[in-house]
A and B are shown apart, each in its own frame.
Chain A
Amino acid sequence: MAEAMLEGARAAAEERSGTGAVGSAGLSRTITVKVLSAAITLFVVLVANFFLFRVLPANPAKNLTHNSTLTAKQLLAINRTFGLGLPLPQQFWNYLVQTFHGNLGRSFVNQLPVSELIGQALWPTILLVGTSTILSTVIGVWIGIRGGWSRGSRFDRSSTAFVNVLYAMPDFWLGMVLLITLAGKLALFPDGGMHSFTGGGSGLAGFADLLWHLALPCLVLTLVYLAEYALVMRSSLIDELKADYLLTARAKGLRDELVRRRHAVPNALLPSVTLIMLNLGFVISGAITTETVFSWPGLGRLSYVSLNAPDYPTLEGTFLLFSAAVIVANLIGDLLLTLFDPRVRQA
C-alpha cells in the first residue's frame, strides 16, 4: 500500500517540478506553501476528531458513573465537566481552545487527564517505533541496494522472496508466533511488559533489562516493515542504474564500488527517505497490534485498551497525536524531496 503512496508522491513531485525550475525565492515560497498545507490538513484532522469523538457517540455520562443512579444535579455536573449539552459550535470552539492549551479532556474510564495518560505512554512508543524504524530502514535499504546492484544473483532472488513473505505477513501473527516459541517454549525472552515485574534494577542492569524486553516487539516491527524499504530501494536503484550519467562515470573508468557509492545510491536513496516518512502512518498501526501482543505500555496499547470501553477522550487524544505525527513526518519528507531532489532544485 505504501508503494502506491510513494508512486503518488513521486508523481506529485514530478508534476511540480514540471512547472518550472525553482529558484531560491521560489524555494522559500514552496516551503511556505507546504507548511501551510500541512497546517490546513491538521486543522481538518481536528474537525474530524471533534465529529468522530464528540458528536457521534452516545451520552457518556452514564458510562462515567457506571450505571449507579444519578440525580439530576449529578448529571448536570458531569455534563458541565465534559461540556456536553452546550450548542455544537460552542462545544467545537471550547474543544479547539482546550486542545491548543493541551487539555485533551479526561478519560471516561478513570477520569485521569488524557494528556497525562498519553504523556506516560509516549516514551515507550517512541522507543519502540524509533528503534524499529532505524533498524528496518538500515537493514531494508542494505538489502535493497545489494539486491538491486547484483540483480538476478542468488542473493537478489532469495532476499526478494524473503522480503515478499515478510511483506505479506500480518504483524500480530508474527508477534504471537515469536511470543509462543521464543518467549514461551524456549523462555529466551520475557512474556511481555517493559520491565521485569520484580523490578529491573537501575543503571546498567535496568538498561539491560529494558533492552531484553524491547527485543521481541522491536524484532517484529523491524521485520514487517523492512520489506517496504527493501523493495522500493531495489527498484529505485535499478531505475537509477539505467541513467546516462552512470554510463559516463563507468566510461571514465570509475570503479563499480565508487560508482555505486557516490552516484547511484545517494540518488536512489531519496525515495526511500521519503518512504520512511510516508510509512510512519502504517508503522503506527503496526505498533498498535504489536504493543498489545507484548503488553508494551505505549500509545498503541493505550488505543487498544480504550477501544473496548470505548474511552472516547483517550481515543481522541491518541488519534490526534498519531495524525499529527504523520502529518509532520509527511511534511518533512516532502520538504526533503523539495530540497534535495536534483531535478527539482534547478536554480
Chain B
Amino acid sequence: MSVRAATSTSDGPPPEQPPSSQALSPRALARARRKAALVRFWREFRRDRRGMSGLIVLAVMIAIALLAPVLANSRGLNPIYATATPNAGPSLRFPLGTDSDGRSVLTELIWGARNSLLVGFTATLISILIGALVGVVAGHFGSIRARAGRLTDNLLMRATDWFLVVPFLPLAMVVARTIGPSLGVIILVIGLTSWAGTARIVRAQALAVETRPYLERAKALGAGHLHQMYRHVLPNVMPLLLANTILTVAGTILAETTLSFLGLGDPIRPTWGQMLGAAYSYGVGTGNVVWLLAPGIAVIIVVMAFTLVGHALEAVLDPKLRDRQ
C-alpha cells in the first residue's frame, strides 16, 4: 500500500542559476526557484494527454459560464416572455428543444453552467478551507510530543471521523429542509459535509512535513505555532491540496445535482441539477427527452474533466502516483 507522498516537489532538485551573475537577494532567489518549479510542473502536466484534454474542457466550460450573458439573453430565463411551444423537441430555433414553460433548454443549460459551477466552486472553497485548517492544525499539534498537542489532534480527528461517517445525503436533506432551501443553503450544506476527506489527507501530509529538518530548525529559532503552520506546513501541503480541491469540485457538483433533484434547490435560479429535477417532476417523456439528457451529459462532461485534471495533477506532484496513469 502506498501512502501520500512524504516528499513534495517544492523540495526538488536545486534551481538553475539565474542568467545574471549578480548576487541576488534570498527573496528573489526563492521567487526564481518557484518560477522554475512552476515551469517544470507545467511541462510535466502538458505531457499528460488526459489531463490536458480535461483542462481544455474545463476552460471551455468556465468560458461558457463567464460569457453566459453574451451567449444567451437572460430574458430567455423569464417564463413570462417565453412564447414557444412547451416540451418541444429540438428544432432549428431551439437546438435543444424547450422545457415545460417554453423556455429554450440551451439558454437554461448555459446559465445553468454558471450557477452549477458557482455552487461547485463555492462549496468546495468552504470545504477546502475547513478541511485544510483542521488538517494542518491536527497534523501540526499531533506531531508535538506534549499531551496537549496529542489531545487537540485526537479531538479534531474524532470530529473528522464523525463527519466522514455520517451519510452525507440524509444529513444534507435534513439541514436544508430545516433551514429552508436556497442556493446559499445548498452551498453551505455541501461545504459543511464534505471537508472530512480533505482534512484526513492534509493531516497525513502535515505529519510527514513535520518531520523535516528545516522545521526543527525553525522551532529552534523560536518560531511560534502559527508561524510554523502558516509559513512551513501549509505551503508544503498546498500542491496536494490543490489536486484534492479539483477532485472535490467534481464531488460537489454531483452532490448539488442530487440535492436539487430532491427539491432542495432554488426554484428560481437554474442549475443543471435544478433542470434535472424539473424534468423529473414535470414529466420527461412528454416530448422533449433532451431536457433530461442535456444537463446530465453536461454534468458528466464537467465532472469527468475535473477528475482527469485532478488525477493528472496528483501524478505530476507525486512521482509515485505517476506510474499509475
Interface residues of A (CB under 8 A from B): 1, 3-5, 7-15, 37, 40-41, 44-45, 48, 52-53, 56-57, 164-165, 167-173, 176-177, 180, 184, 234-236, 238-239, 242, 270-271, 278, 281-282, 284-285, 288-289, 293, 303-304, 307-308, 310, 315, 318-319, 322-323, 326-327, 330, 341, 343
Chain B neighbourhood of A48, CB < 8 A:
166
Q: List 29 A-B contacts (CB under 8 A).
A: A1-B248, A1-B251, A4-B244, A7-B200, A7-B201, A8-B201, A45-B166, A52-B174, A52-B178, A53-B174, A164-B307, A167-B303, A168-B307, A169-B300, A170-B254, A171-B258, A172-B261, A173-B257, A173-B292, A173-B299, A177-B296, A180-B292, A281-B167, A282-B167, A285-B168, A288-B170, A288-B173, A293-B280, A310-B177
Q: How far is the CB of B300 from chain A (nearest CB, A)?
A: 5
Q: In the bound complex, how far is the Cα of B168 from the Cα of A303, in angstroms? A: 13
Residue of B nearest to A235 (CB): B324
Q: How far is the CB of A244 from chain B (nearest CB, A)?
A: 14
Q: In the bound complex, how far is the Cα of B53 from the Cα of A87, in angstroms? A: 60
Q: Is the beta-carbon distance between A10 and B3 smaller than 8 angstroms?
A: yes
With A11-B201, A52-B178, A319-B174 as given contacts, are A1 and B2 in contact (CB-CB < 8 Å)?
no
Query: What are the interface flags for B284-317 relative to A under an 8 Å C-beta threshold, 1 for contact and 0 otherwise?
Result: 1100010011001001110110011000000000
10 residue pairs, one from A and one from B, having the closest CB atoms? A8-B200, A11-B204, A285-B169, A4-B197, A168-B303, A1-B251, A173-B296, A281-B167, A168-B304, A322-B167
Chain A neighbourhood of B280, CB < 8 A:
172, 176, 293
Q: Which of A271, A278, A288 makes the CB contact (< 8 A) with B1?
A: A271
Q: In the bound complex, how far is the Cα of B273 from the Cα of A323, in angstroms? A: 26
Q: Is the beta-carbon distance between B300 and A168 smaller than 8 angstroms?
A: yes
Q: In the bound complex, how far is the Cα of B165 from the Cα of A322, in angstroms? A: 10
Q: Is the beta-carbon distance between B167 and A323 smaller than 8 angstroms?
A: yes
Taking residues whose C-beta sits less than 8 angstroms from the other chain, chain B's interface range is 35 or more
Q: Is the beta-carbon distance between B263 and A308 smaller than 8 angstroms?
A: yes
Knowing that A172-B276, A285-B167 touch, tell me 14 more A-B residue pairs with CB under 8 angstroms. Answer: A9-B200, A10-B1, A11-B3, A11-B201, A41-B165, A167-B303, A167-B304, A173-B276, A235-B321, A239-B324, A271-B1, A307-B262, A319-B167, A323-B167
Chain A neighbourhood of B301, CB < 8 A:
168
Chain A neighbourhood of B324, CB < 8 A:
234-235, 238-239
With A45-B166, A281-B168, A327-B165 as given contacts, are A170 and B158 in contact (CB-CB < 8 Å)?
no
Q: In the bound complex, how far is the Cα of B200 from the Cα of A40, in angstroms? A: 19
Q: Is the beta-carbon distance between B200 and A1 smaller than 8 angstroms?
A: no
Q: Is the beta-carbon distance between B165 and A326 smaller than 8 angstroms?
A: yes
Q: In the bound complex, how far is the Cα of B280 from the Cα of A32, in angstroms? A: 48
Chain B neighbourhood of A173, CB < 8 A:
257, 276, 292, 296, 299
Q: How far is the CB of B89 from chain A (nearest CB, A)?
A: 14
Residue of B nearest to A299 (CB): B170
Q: In the bound complex, how far is the Cα of B203 from the Cα of A185, in angstroms? A: 51
Chain B neighbourhood of A14, CB < 8 A:
1, 3, 204
Chain B stretch 28-86: residues in CB contact (< 8 A) with chain A: none
Chain A neighbourhood of B169, CB < 8 A:
284-285, 288
Q: How far is the CB of A173 from chain B (nearest CB, A)?
A: 4
Q: In the bound complex, how far is the Cα of B321 from the Cα of A239, in angstroms? A: 8
Chain A neighbourhood of B248, CB < 8 A:
1, 4
Q: Is the beta-carbon distance between B307 and A167 smaller than 8 angstroms?
A: yes
Q: In the bound complex, how far is the Cα of B165 from the Cα of A169, in angstroms? A: 23
Q: Is B4 positioned at the interface, with any CB of A under 8 Å from its CB?
A: yes
Q: Is B247 positioned at the interface, with any CB of A under 8 Å from its CB?
A: yes
Q: How far is the CB of A214 from chain B (nearest CB, A)?
A: 22
Residue of A nearest to B244 (CB): A4
Chain B neighbourhood of A270, CB < 8 A:
1
Q: In the bound complex, how far is the Cα of B164 from the Cα of A70, in angstroms? A: 44
Chain A neighbourhood of B258, CB < 8 A:
170-172, 285, 289
Q: In the bound complex, how far is the Cα of B169 from the Cα of A15, in angstroms? A: 30
Chain B stretch 175-195: residues in CB contact (< 8 A) with chain A: 175, 177-178, 194
Q: In the bound complex, how far is the Cα of B257 from the Cα of A160, in angstroms? A: 24
Q: Is the beta-carbon distance between A180 and B174 smaller than 8 angstroms?
A: no
Q: Is B171 positioned at the interface, with any CB of A under 8 Å from its CB?
A: yes
Q: Which of A41, A310, A315 makes the CB contact (< 8 A) with B158?
A: A41
Q: In the bound complex, how far is the Cα of B204 from the Cα of A10, in angstroms? A: 9
Q: How far is the CB of B285 from chain A (nearest CB, A)?
A: 5
Chain B stretch 270-286: residues in CB contact (< 8 A) with chain A: 273, 276, 279-280, 284-285
Q: Is the beta-carbon distance between A165 and B167 smaller than 8 angstroms?
A: no
Q: Which of B165, B285, B296 makes the CB contact (< 8 A) with A180?
A: B285
Q: Is B132 positioned at the interface, with any CB of A under 8 Å from its CB?
A: no
Q: Is the beta-carbon distance between B194 and A315 smaller than 8 angstroms?
A: no
Q: In the bound complex, how far is the Cα of B204 from the Cα of A44, in angstroms? A: 24
Q: Is the beta-carbon distance between A164 and B308 smaller than 8 angstroms?
A: yes
